[in-house]
Structure 1
Amino acid sequence: MPEPVLDAVIVLVALADFLINQWDMSLTAKVTAVIACAALPLRRRFPLVVFLLTLPATLMQEMVVAPFAALFTLAERSRDRWLLSVCAGLFALASVTPWPLDGDSPGRAWTVVTFLYMLGAAAAPVLLGQLLQARRDLARRLVEIEEAREHERLLHSQAVLARERAQLAREMHDVVSHQVSLIAVQAGALQVAAKDPEFKEGVRAIRTLSVDTLDELRHMVTLLRASGGHSTELTPQPTLTDLQRLVSSSGIETELVGELPGQVSTTAQRAVYRTVQEALTNVRKHAPGARATVRLWYDASAFGVTVTNTPATRGALPLPGSGQGLIGLGERAELLGGTFEAGPTKDGGYEVWMSAPL
């Protein structure tokens, strides 16, 4: 139902509740009731203020629709349970307080019973609002989990494809290119030693074809070492120049500080990039709402990166994981002759640390 229509229905029901209960009502009581009903369309923007505006009407007469609607909206939008408890108590207190204040009291025992009854009644809209809030949070969290899973599947497929391409590139470089290089060298030697012009021309053609084939093989090896993200993607794997874009598109409030020296190799730059990528992915999966800091550092003998995140601000649903991401980062660090560590921090966050010698 559209919000304007829903607001109109609630105001009409609250007015009907007011009209039914206006027995010998004073002008002040009528004004407070009208104010309470008129304020209901504003309860989404100012839930606490609207609820407080319904309390005078609740005090002066038996009105429940307007304060319950305001209390439900407040519970739906507020995460302060102490505030909700106080508001429910204020409603119950306003309901049992005699009006006028100098009027006859129904007795202390009956007042306590009525107060407890009205407090239990006020708990219904509070619990219903909190339930709706939890359902909305859960739906949003499920969307984030699905996005994180899709991102993880994409990264995994890219890593598998890149690993297979790299393996094939190594085989071509170490075996095929080596054999073709030997053919070109032997053909060149025969071309120099040959006396027969026809034989010399044939050997020259063999050498030329071998050199051309070697150039093609080197070009193919370069392409095979390209990123394995998409079947048509033949761009080089990311380096430090792509780190700012990774941080900006991570979907996490992340601060990038520090820098690395210019002599860091391309392989080491990829290791730093993948470390930051995996760490931010884990923050998104396991610490929703957390902030992260990516710090690049170096000294006279080593360089590295540290990714630290704060504790989660929202609950995280448990997700199955193979743990291969952190293992792969450790293997990257070992290939560089460095070290890799990961673990929780004292404040409840998490830290990933990778270093390698310059």
Structure 2
Amino acid sequence: MTDGGAGIAERITPWALGAAVFLLSMASASGAVGVRSTLPEPVLVAVAAASAVAAVRARRSLGPLAAVGAVAYAWLVMWPAAVAASYYAGTHLRRRDLWLYAGGAVAVFALSALVSHRSNGYRALVAGTPANAILMSGAMLGLPLVAGLWVRARRQVLATMREQAEQLLREQVLRAEQARVQERARIAREMHDVVAHQVSLMVLHAGALEVSAPDERTAEAAALIGGVGREALGNLREVLGVLRSRDPVRGPQPTLADLDQLLDQTRALGIVVDRHDEGVARPLGPVVERTAYRVVQEALTNVHKHAADARTEVFVRYRPAELEILVRNQPSAGTSGDLPGSGWGLVGLRERVELVGGSLETGPQDGNGFQVMARIPVA
């Protein structure tokens, strides 16, 4: 049952019980399911109504229902309120209070048997003999009390099982988190030992070449390589910090405002890159701008690897409901196939774009170069 269904049942059940107690009380007083009473009907209706109201409020307070049930049974052999009180006693009372309730109920049934025995007619026959008195007390006191105790025991078992399941779930989540932290720490160590070391050597060699360069153009190229390497080391330190942290908080992330700097780095490596902005430029969400930046970055990386001398165009198109990024390059006169790649760049890029609800299209443009186009929703 859903939480909404359980809430409706919680509200309806007391009123349904009150209605059942009222109807059964009237039936008992009329002799249909009990001993017929000779009292005026308004008195019987008043007693039945009091029993119903007490039954509705029994979950909050058992006392009124127990008192009304005792009076109604001892006076009129009207049993519904007594049965309901015995059931609620089994589900709610602690052991000491339960024994007190059982003792009081036995006294009430004994008093009713005594009153019935001294009366004349049908009541004396039904409720006044010892055998019938014991049988009725067992049926109207014992059975509801046992049913209430069983329901309470079942609820306790279910609550214990639910608590154990929640504890197991918490422990499972904790173990998974610990394993995730350990794996991230292992990846961080591997990246530091392998990638950071190699990039550091590249920066050192670039610095040495810049100092001892035979001409100015070589010195500028070495300085550019050193700058790119130092930037890569900074980004790598940031990634390693994220991997080592239990609650990773990334530093400032690149946005479209940093796109020109990225293009300038590419131009410094000898690639002709043209940028074209279309539509009315406007501030976008940080996730949208960061995703767009990464699309351009990955596309330019592929140009470096596979078409280092190809002219490249970058289009930033501001649409009403989306941002479109298109990076396309002309055919290369010669490919630089000696730059290795993981093979997962475009796969990861597609996952990043789709994660924000966008789409990514990549492939040759009719045999005339290669293009990467991403559509990123801005709403």
- Matches of residues 36-55 of structure 1 in structure 2 within 5 Å? 38-43=50-55, 44=58, 45-55=60-70
Structure 1 residues 183 and 99: alpha-carbon distance in aligned structure 2, compared to 1, 3 A threshold: same
Q: Would you say 1:211 and 2:230 are equivalent positions?
A: yes
Q: Distance in 2 between matches of 1:57 and 1:193?
A: 110
Q: Would you say 1:13 and 2:24 are equivalent positions?
A: yes
Q: Distance in 2 between matches of 1:48 and 1:197?
A: 100
Q: Distance in 1 between matches of 2:119 and 2:20?
A: 35
Q: Give the number of equivalent residue pairs.
A: 225
Q: Would you say 1:87 and 2:101 are equivalent positions?
A: yes
| % identity of equivalent residues | 27
**Displacement of 1:100 after TM fit?**
8.2
**Displacement of 1:116 after TM fit?**
5.2
Structure 1 residues 24 and 139: alpha-carbon distance in aligned structure 2, compared to 1, 3 A threshold: closer
**Displacement of 1:113 after TM fit?**
6.2
The answer to whether the 8 Å contact 1:227/1:235 transfers is no
Aligned partner of 1:152: which letter? E
Corresponding residue for 1:235?
249
**Displacement of 1:32 after TM fit?**
8.2
1:177 counterpart (188, 196, 200): 196
Q: Distance in 2 between matches of 1:30 and 1:66?
A: 18
Q: TM-score, normalised by structure 2?
A: 0.49
**Displacement of 1:111 after TM fit?**
8.0
The answer to whether the 8 Å contact 1:59/1:95 transfers is yes
Cα RMSD, aligned residues only: 3.6
**Displacement of 1:227 after TM fit?**
3.8
Structure 1 residues 101 and 31: alpha-carbon distance in aligned structure 2, compared to 1, 3 A threshold: farther
Structure 1 residues 206 and 57: alpha-carbon distance in aligned structure 2, compared to 1, 3 A threshold: closer
Aligned partner of 2:115: which letter? W
Q: Distance in 1 between matches of 2:65 and 2:116?
A: 23
User: Any unmatched runs of 5+ in structure 1?
Assistant: 229-233, 237-358
Bigger RCO (CA 8 Å, 6+ sep): 1
Runs of 4+ off more than 6 Å? 100-104, 110-115
Q: Would you say 1:132 and 2:151 are equivalent positions?
A: yes
Q: Distance in 2 between matches of 1:24 and 1:197?
A: 119
Q: Deviations over 1:135-182 (max 9, x none)?
A: 334444444444444433333333222221111112222332133223
- Matches of residues 1-358 of structure 1 in structure 2 within 5 Å? 2-3=12-13, 4-20=15-31, 21=34, 25=38, 31=43, 34-35=46-47, 38-43=50-55, 44=58, 45-76=60-91, 78-97=92-111, 98-99=114-115, 117-121=135-139, 122-227=141-246, 234-235=248-249
Structure 1 residues 31 and 201: alpha-carbon distance in aligned structure 2, compared to 1, 3 A threshold: same
Q: Answer with 1 or 2: which has the greater Rg.
A: 2
